[in-house]
């Protein structure tokens, strides 16, 4: 069943209950064994998929009710990051093997995309972001060593982290999709601090590499009217363009970030000073 999440005005969430906030922005179960989960956000028409192949391959359907197209990528592009065991993706007959934290970009116009796990006992877990596309770009695979690495933060501020940029303006080319991974160093818990907004793009975070008994307090909302969501391992959260997106965990963790919107400039951010956050 596809979850559909409608757009939100920043003044709305000031009145939301915890349940309403979670229902609107949290994607609570992204990965299900042997299934494809789907969440459609009206913010920049981003679709989030979780794909965990079991003994049989899984093929992305057209989702005609969402795309009104004969196949899923007729007017879309997608980025895939594997956060599980080794897997394989077949794109119109071309085979791509993806290990842990490796990325595959698939451009507009590809008709068949099939996912499988190399070992059913340790299945692949493919996390996917897909957004509308106006032009065709080639399918490209990137290993973690191929990503542009940016080290930020410090131990003193508990936010020492490494950003791995896969799909971005100087990396894998796309129409509007931007995607990568952030890993927090041991002893660090804060991500994306100081926080920022970017009216040009929406963003989705997918938290993983987190012990099952630990959590992340994810902060969102207008910088002057913030709210929080309690998030567990392998959950995702939708961040509108007007919202900050930041978090603090009870242990270190990793997350996949994916953006779509006006541009692909990773540094296009409207920074918020900590003393002004409310």
DSSP 143-210: -GGGSEEEEE--TTTT--EEEEEEESTTSB--SS-EEEEEEEPTT--EES-S-EE-TTEEEEEEEES-
Angle at 247 between CA 244 and CA 249, to 5 degrees: 175
pLDDT of residue 89: 98
Residues in Cβ contact with 118 at an 8 Å cutoff, skipping those fewer than 6 apart: 85, 86, 87, 88, 97, 124
**In degrees rounded to 5, what are phi and psi of residue 203?**
-150, 150
Regarding the domain with residue range 13-139+147-276, which homologous superfamily does it belong to in the CATH classification? Jelly Rolls (2.60.120.10)
Total number of residues shown for the chain: 278
- For 69-106, the pLDDT digits (tens) are 999 999 999 999 999 999 999 999 999 999 999 999 99
Of all residues in the chain, what percent are helix, strand and coil, respectively (each to 5)?
10, 45, 45
Query: Cβ of 250: how many Cβ atoms within 10 Å?
Result: 13
Distance, CA of 119 to CA of 49 (rounded, Å): 21
pTM over 0.85? The answer is yes
**Side-chain-side CA neighbours of residue 249 (13 Å):** 29
Distance, CA of 11 to CA of 224 (rounded, Å): 11
**Residues of the chain with confidence (pLDDT) below 70:** 1
pLDDT of residue 14: 84
pLDDT of residue 193: 79
pLDDT of residue 275: 76
pLDDT of residue 10: 87
pLDDT of residue 70: 96
pLDDT of residue 25: 96
Going by C-alpha positions, the residue among 38, 39, 40, 43 that lies closest to residue 10 is 43
In the 8-state DSSP scheme, what is residue 234?
T
pLDDT of residue 267: 82
């Amino acid at each position: 069943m596809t979850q559909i999440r409608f757009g939100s005005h920043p003044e709305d969430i000031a009145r939301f209950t915890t349940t309403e906030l979670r229902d609107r922005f949290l994607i609570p179960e992204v990965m299900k064994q042997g299934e494809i989960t789907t969440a459609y956000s009206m913010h920049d028409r981003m679709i989030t998929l979780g794909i965990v192949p079991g003994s049989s391959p899984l093929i992305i359907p057209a989702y005609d009710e969402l795309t009104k197209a004969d196949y899923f990528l007729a007017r879309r592009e997608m980025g895939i990051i594997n956060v599980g065991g080794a897997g394989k993706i077949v794109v119109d007959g071309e085979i791509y093997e993806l290990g842990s934290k490796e990325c595959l970009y698939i451009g507009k116009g590809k008709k068949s995309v099939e996912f499988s796990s190399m070992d059913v006992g340790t299945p692949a877990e493919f996390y996917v972001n897909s957004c509308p596309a106006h032009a065709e770009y080639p399918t490209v695979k990137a290993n973690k060593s191929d990503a542009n690495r940016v080290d930020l933060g410090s131990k003193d501020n508990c936010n020492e982290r490494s950003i791995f940029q896969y799909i971005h303006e100087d990396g894998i080319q796309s129409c509007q999709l931007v995607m990568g991974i952030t890993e927090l160093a041991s002893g660090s818990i804060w991500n994306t601090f100081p926080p920022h907004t970017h009216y040009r793009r929406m963003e989705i975070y997918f938290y993983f590499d987190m012990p099952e008994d630990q959590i992340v307090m994810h902060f969102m909302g207008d910088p002057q009217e913030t709210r929080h969501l309690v998030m567990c391992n392998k959950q995702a959260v939708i961040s509108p363009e007007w919202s900050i997106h930041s978090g603090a965990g009870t242990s270190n963790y990793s997350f996949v970030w994916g953006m779509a919107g006006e541009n692909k400039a990773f540094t296009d951010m409207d920074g918020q000073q900590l003393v002004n956050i409310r």
